[in-house]
Amino acid sequence: MKKVCFSLLICLAATAAMAQNLQNASKQLKVFNQLYKTLDMYYVDTLDAEKNITTAINAMLYDLDPYTEYYTAKTARELNTMTTGKYAGVGMLIHYYKAEDRCVAYQLFEDKPAQKAGIKVGDVILSIDGKEMGPKGSKPVNDFTNSVSSALRGDPNTVAHVRVKRLTDTLDIDITRASVQLPAMPYSGLVDGDVGYIYLSSFTTDCSDDVRQAVRNLKEQGAKSIVLDLRNNGGGLANEAVKIVNIFVEKGKLILKMKGKVAAANTSYATQGIPEDLDIPLAVLVNGASASSSEIVCGSLQDLDRAVIVGERTFGKGLVQQPHELPYDGVLKLTTSHYYIPSGRCIQALDYSHRTDNGEAYRTPDSLTHTFYTEAGRPVKDGGGITPDITVSDTIPTLLAYLRNSDEYFDWLNAYCRSHETISPAGEFGISDEDYEAFTDSIVKSGFTPENRSKRVVEQLRKILKAEDASEEAMQNLSTLEESLKPDLAKILAQHKDKMSRCINADICDRYYYSAGAQQNALLHDVQLDAAVAVLKDSKRYKEILGQ
């Protein structure tokens, strides 16, 4: 009787708390509604309701977590592209190019409209359908690139009349738009003779079918083991992740549990199909950019002792998002639950409900994580991503990552490709030592300066010191510090020649052989892949790691 009374008290308390929350929400919505009406009526300038309220919505959502996002009717198709990999357009990526203050063709997809029409990487986009596309001027970069991207998209079989600048020439190119499917699996093939390799870049609709077919093809070609590469894969559809696990795991295995505030968010996923191969040795490659559905796959295969995980600790995203329709064709993608993999662990690393003074979410320290166990009894941890069974670091230094995304790097690649009509096959290509020296010399002379955190901190400190009328000596000391923080580019590029050369080689291959060629080339000197191949070829070690 006491237990019943206690339960009743808990229910009554919860109901009262919910009612109080609803009352508070109603009150604050009335405040916001009246506030905006007052602004609209009395503010000195005319307000843009869509822009202002969207800004307010985004500010509110930002305070929750980075995955809860609002899509207007204009931007909702971006969400559809993320989940399906499909869109109607020309099949190229664009990039803001500061030297021209316009967007340029940055990457082309093979056999897609832009490539077929004759667009070249580096072409500066001047106008689309007669409308000038720039200069950007004072507009935010994202807003500007989004406007150019939107102009390139359109219904299939319509024509985009694009005017571009190529070096000193101005060209008019007609591109017939089409339904474009971005490849979720850009490359698969054999490595080291009899090891099948599959690179999956995203979890979009039906990508599991592509992976299953790739496994079949590789086995027919003589593969005795499989490497599934999920590095830099930020995730996507959770049901596709479960289907991929099912390729290697028997039917009826519970893979995923989702737990949220409401009953509709509490869902379980088990394998439902016939597996492709329960016994073939399997390794999964991951790194710090492997997140969400990637972590469902590698974490589940680890928990079930079905694969050896190789690489670096994953990102740690244990949250699930679902889309909810809003009035006027808007969509709210919001976080509805945490997910738990077979061992019972949740690998979420960041606590967005608790933040530091500067607004950063708290990261769960390793000392506060909990131990769970795989089917074979191996200990695994929650609260911080998936820790590989074999850790192999292959992270590119931050400065080189900044460099790879810079206009200066883009310029050098363009110049190299203009001077080389053809290159050797992707599986063989590599720049020479002389080419690398020319690259280093070009970057050093270009005046490239990375926008790193230390530079921003120094600039902020300079503003503070000026505001406080700091002494000349203090300002001089800050300038000395700033000078000492400037990287020695030549030294760093020499020190990391192997890693930077790998990036250059892959990026050049992307120009000639597109994403498949770039990925194939990147595997030539891949220490993480080498480690995966080594453990797959060492049956004794493979079984020991999996507790067999």
- The residues that are catalytic are 292, 303, 317
Give the 3-state secondary structure of residue 419.
coil
Sort strands 225-229 and 195-199 into parallel, antiparallel or unpaired.
Answer: parallel
* Number of alpha carbons in the 13 Å side-chain half-sphere of residue 530: 8
Give the 3-state secondary structure of residue 364.
coil
CB 87 within 8 A of CB 153: yes
d(CA 509, CA 310): 26
User: Cα–Cα distances in Å, from 159 out to 107, 113, 152, 181, 325?
Assistant: 20, 10, 9, 18, 31
Torsion-angle region of 383 (φ positive above 0: left; ψ -120 to 50: alpha; else: beta) = left
What contacts 358, CB < 8 A, 6 or more positions away? none
User: Cα–Cα distances in Å, from 451 out to 127, 209, 295?
Assistant: 30, 41, 30
What contacts 194, CB < 8 A, 6 or more positions away? 222, 223, 224, 225
Phi, psi of 268 (to 5 degrees): -120, 145
Helix (H) / strand (E) containing 299: helix 293-303
Which of 460, 356, 449 has its CA nearest to residue 399? 449
Phi, psi of 300 (to 5 degrees): -70, -45
Question: 141-145: long-range contacts (C-beta < 8 A, 24 or more apart)?
Answer: 141/96, 144/96, 144/103, 145/94, 145/95, 145/96, 145/103
For 251-298, give the secondary structure using H, E and C: CCCEEEEEEECCHHHCEEEECCCCCCCCCCCEEEEECCCCCCHHHHHH
- What is residue 104's DSSP assignment? E
CA-angle at 267, arms to 263 and 268, nearest 5°:
150
